[in-house]
Amino acid sequence: MKLSDTQQSFVELRKGVENVGSVTYQISSLIKKLEESKNSVGDVVEHLATIAEENAATTEETSAGMQTLTHTIEKFKVGTKELLSLSGLLNELTNKFSL
């Protein structure tokens, strides 16, 4: 009996070792997939960070452009007022020469 019990124990031990090997292979495969997913997520986050930086730069450029435009509009307003004043003065002077 002891020999058959020992043989049976070794058969079960071999099955257990094979099972552990199979599970270890499955875990290894899952770890590889997880690593690939992690890398993909990292790439996406990096891409989003780049887009955010570009958006920030564009926003700054737009803000600077708007400030320049506002300054230019203010200059036009002053110039328009001066032109209107000169137009009124010219109209007065022209009326003096009317017969």
Residue 99: predicted pLDDT: 57
Mean pLDDT of the chain: 92
Residue 21, SS3 per DSSP: helix
Residue 54: predicted pLDDT: 96
What is the C-alpha separation between 63 and 71, in angstroms, rounded? 12
pLDDT at 17 over 90: no
pLDDT digit string, tens, across residues 24-56? 999 999 999 999 999 999 999 999 999 999 999
Residue 45: predicted pLDDT: 95
Distances (CA, A) of 18 to 11, 21, 32: 11, 5, 21
pLDDT at 11 over 90: no
- Using CA of residue 16, residue 19, residue 24, residue 30, what is the dihedral sign? negative
